[in-house]
Amino acid sequence: MLYHLKAFEAYQPQGTMEPYVRTIREEESITVHHPNLTPDIFDKYTAMKHIVEAQKAGITKVEWIHVSDDEDAATWEELEKACSNCNGCKLYSNRKNVVIGTGNKKASVMFIGEGPGADEDEQGIPFVGKAGKLMNQCLEGLGVKREEIYIANIVKCRPPGNRNPEPDEIAVCLSYLEAQIKLVGPEKIVLLGSVSLQNILGKEYAITKSRGKWIEKDGIQYMPTFHPAALLRDEHKKIDFWKDLKEVFKKS
């Protein structure tokens, strides 16, 4: 059986979370409404905390229900406020800045990376370190200004030691990115690296096999390619990265 958060509210006396936790412990999964897209159901931060509690209580599967009515969609202001104040996962504790995204909020091309590194955490802007500079050079070479595209990451706070974000962190943070995609409304999305590829399109995709090939999903064209940090480790990947971006910005 799946529980909707809305149904759960009826079980919640005096604002305590106990009945909620007790109920979901008996179940294998819980369905919740998207915390950013249902501002009228109840407070978004409360929803986020419930999800974290569910995960602490051993719930392994959290499913998101997306509210499709435009009137329910989060605004940029709501989204940025929710991200800036977020303590939805453990990455909250060590961050200096929440790295929400940068660029043209109505871009036709969006880039999605993995998560902020040290420089990004310091400045609160994605892709400003060595890897970002390399990506910028590539864009410039193609005659594309960085400000023309929108850039975001799978998680918005820096994973310690630049490790990959963990599944529980991604499960909570992905809702922000989904709301960003909806707000930007891009025609094309460049997925930078396997963390981005697998969390947007599915674990069945491998970056080495999928890179350079368009994948269509829900009316958006996705182009998987290497993460720019991988180019710093292996120069040979630069040629493929260049080719993939050239394909993205090809004039039709």
**Per-residue x/- marks for ligand SF4, 93-112, CB under 6 A?**
-----x--------------
User: Residue 89 interacts with ligand SF4 (CB under 6 A)?
Assistant: yes
**Per-residue x/- marks for ligand SF4, 136-165, CB under 6 A?**
-------------------xxx--------
In the complex with ligand SF4, the residue whose CB is nearer, 30 or 173, is: 173
In the complex with ligand SF4, the residue whose CB is nearer, 89 or 109, is: 89
Question: Which alpha helices (H) appear in the chain, and where do they start and end?
Answer: 5-9, 18-25, 44-56, 76-84, 118-123, 130-141, 167-184, 194-200, 207-210, 228-233, 237-248
Measured between alpha carbons, how far is 179 from 38 in angstroms, rounded to an integer?
Answer: 11
User: Residue 83 interacts with ligand SF4 (CB under 6 A)?
Assistant: yes
Nearest to 124 by CA among 148, 101, 90: 101
User: Residue 79 interacts with ligand SF4 (CB under 6 A)?
Assistant: no
Measured between alpha carbons, how far is 200 from 202 in angstroms, rounded to an integer?
Answer: 6
Looking at 30-38, 64-72, 167-175, 193-201, which segment touches ligand SF4 (CB under 6 A)?
Answer: 167-175
User: Which of 23, 31, 87, 162 is close enough to bind ligand SF4 by CB under 6 A?
Assistant: 87
| Residue 109: CB minimum distance to ligand SF4, A | 23
Between the CA of residue 211 and those of 112, 123, 199, 206, 223, what are the distances in Å? 14, 30, 15, 8, 7
In the complex with ligand SF4, the residue whose CB is nearer, 100 or 223, is: 100
User: Residue 120 interacts with ligand SF4 (CB under 6 A)?
Assistant: no
Percentages of the chain per state (helix, strand, coil), in multiples of 5? 45, 15, 40
Measured between alpha carbons, how far is 121 from 72 in angstroms, rounded to an integer?
Answer: 31
User: Which of 35, 88, 103, 113 is close enough to bind ligand SF4 by CB under 6 A?
Assistant: 88
Number of residues written out for the chain: 252
In the complex with ligand SF4, the residue whose CB is nearer, 35 or 228, is: 35
Measured between alpha carbons, how far is 37 from 171 in angstroms, rounded to an integer?
Answer: 16
Size of site (CB under 6 A) for ligand SF4: 14
**Phi-psi label, residue 205: left if phi above 0, alpha if psi -120 to 50, beta otherwise:** beta
Phi (first) and psi of residue 112, to 5 degrees = -125, 120
In the complex with ligand SF4, the residue whose CB is nearer, 180 or 225, is: 180
User: Residue 200 interacts with ligand SF4 (CB under 6 A)?
Assistant: no
In the complex with ligand SF4, the residue whose CB is nearer, 115 or 129, is: 115
DSSP code for 214 = -
Residues within the interface to ligand SF4 (CB under 6 A): 83, 86-89, 91-92, 98, 155-157, 169, 172-173
